[in-house]
Structure 1
Amino acid sequence: MYQLTLSLDEFLRQYWQKQPTIIKGGFAEFQDPITPEELAGLTMEEVVDSRFVSNLDNNWQAEHGPFDDDKFATLPERNWSFIVQAANHWHDGAAQLVKPFQTMPQWLFDDLMISFSVEGGGVGPHIDQYDVFIIQGMGKRHWRVGAKDVGQYKETQRHQALRQIESFEAEIDDILEPGDILYIPPGFPHDGYALEPSMSYSVGFRSPKEQELISNFADYVLAHDYGDEHLHKPELRTQNNFGQISTSDLHSLVGMLKATLDNEETLKDFMGCMLSQSRHQLNIIEPSSKWSSEDVYQHLDNGGNILKVSGLRALAHESEPNIVYVNGEMFKIPEELTDVALLMTSHDVICLKNSGEWLTQNSAVISLITDLINKGYWFIE
């Protein structure tokens, strides 16, 4: 089990979205949870989001996977990287590296990105719009981080698949060794390249943009057929300037728009559904043979575990803990079963050990768990 050598609470107060920093020895005696060969194996999978980036002789190239054996057989000795997004969805060992950060709000967590680079490998200078903890695994990597200055840095297109900037003056210029952590808030330019074959693990946190909220809310309104009404104004009168939108009509139309936005329940359900959906594909596989409530009961009663799919988001509002949102779906749980909602949102395993005998003493609880298993959200090994 991985354990941070720093207090996350203290870190958030001092650094979160304020300034980048390096935490030397953030993980003591760090051991890589995955080998370069295993990472290469993931890049061959159709369902896994992977990339290959090279910069030999400053000729930048980028490709998306999946790749095959031929790709690995023809690689040069320098200046390339393989990158896998959401590696925590596909590799159990890699998923363990996320657990030390689980006290952060789950809806903010995006994914664990893993990069293997040979000497000189990297993706070039760039700016991200999310918070990231970059954990150094095997090998060493040289990192430079500049100051945040909106509009100062010019984008350059060395390759259409790479969003890079021209250059920046470094305020952090250091070498990361195994167990070191580099934290970078949104908007700070940075560049890292391997000094030797090395692994980097990026634990990313991303909030939605205002554009995303508006766009997704519009989709949500349409999907649920809300606001399917036209403006009703029986007091309409003629006007001399017939090309003019009257102030009264404007207020009426804006009022229609605000009516849904002012509906607290609609907004809460929308936020729960949207924020519970992962940006990356999940390893959700519905069982070929449906589980029965009796089978699930027997499994739990015998001390068995039921595991949540890695990366799956199960969220609940603080004000309504008995409505749980899972991967965009809403589950209403009876108020007397608050413990079930807590189990779904705050644990990766459902079992008697972390709940108690009450888990198997209510048929509604067993029925809900059975439904989650048959949807592929939780599973029995």
Structure 2
Amino acid sequence: MRCLLLCLSLLAAAPLHAADITFWDAPQRGGNSMNMSPPDRNYFDALRATGATWVRLVPDKWKAQGGRDFLIGNADDYQGLVAADLATLRRVLDDADAAGLKVVLTPLSLPLLRWKQHNGDKVDQRLWQSFDNHAPALRFWHDLAVALKGHPALAAYNLINEPVPEYGAGLAEHASSEAMQQWYAGVQDGPRDLRRFYSELIARIREVDAEMPLMLDAGWYAAADGFNYWPAPLDDAKLLYSVHMYEPYAATSAPNQKRAKPWRYPGSVPFGGHSERWDAARVRTYLQQPMDWAKTHGVEANRMVVGEFGCMRRWPDCSRYLQDVLQVLEQDKVHWAFYAFREDGWDGMDYELGDKALPWSYWQAQEQGKSPVPPRSMQAPLFAPILQRLKAGNR
């Protein structure tokens, strides 16, 4: 009886619907939220109506109430979580939960690692320069884990968005696996060792939360080849390994739209310092790299994530590209989140707007200080490849 009472008391003390790695046992499909304003219940209801089961929530663009950087206060000098910002975040999490969506919380900035777009378009390398510079980020994640422990919306923490400890440190982007491994041998156990830093973060979070799944982006901006130099996964049973997919970036990204002759898909596109043909087969071989790494090291497909993918909606080949990427993700049975759902500060990858420019009346209303609603439609053909798979996955 004493044992039974103890068990019942422990169950009563456990947070209701606390984060559980079993959410990730079956493929989960979702979208990214990277809005300027905190999304509300209507936003999450609309995303849930697509069939999405999770949202990768980025709060960094929201108006900070206690300094330059949301939640952090000042990434140059972290002194603790900003209470008013934390209250805003909690309200947003409550709305997501009410809509039936799970949340992967994804800060873009950490102490001494300010997001490039909030840092004068310069890559902030301070965190990677010394072990002392790791300490404020470790403290931040520990504080956040304490503050949010048990919130029913949370399905994971994405600890660093698109980390680049390799930047300016002697390793070319999309280098060969051999070059990556040679580079890693030179930085291993130093402050630029991404695996070591993740291990430090995991340890600090596990001091206060043993259950929360933790999502780890690969290096070089979460590149699909970014795990190629990792000699092994990390020692924690509740980890997810994530990559992002915009390759070939020269074709899918905004600068291509300004070229006199934009790069096409399928076609030859600059990549990794040379030109090569990108088509459905090349997309598959590129995305196969993290899957091969996982298989080699005994990581199941249901612990692999493509946390972002997309292309400029006005690029004439965007629909075909999305279809080719999604075909691989669905066949591999990995989790995914498209970029992005109804972004309010940029329309470049808002597929519900189709492939045409926004009407002049929209921009005119903005100039007049109004808040016009873009002419979105879930039935837009460009959104169809994503929507079909969201709906199918939710049956």
- TM-score normalised by length of structure 1: 0.29
Q: Which structure is higher in strand share? A: 1
Choose between structure 1 and 2 for higher RCO, CA contacts under 8 A separated by at least 6 residues: 2
Rg larger in structure: 1
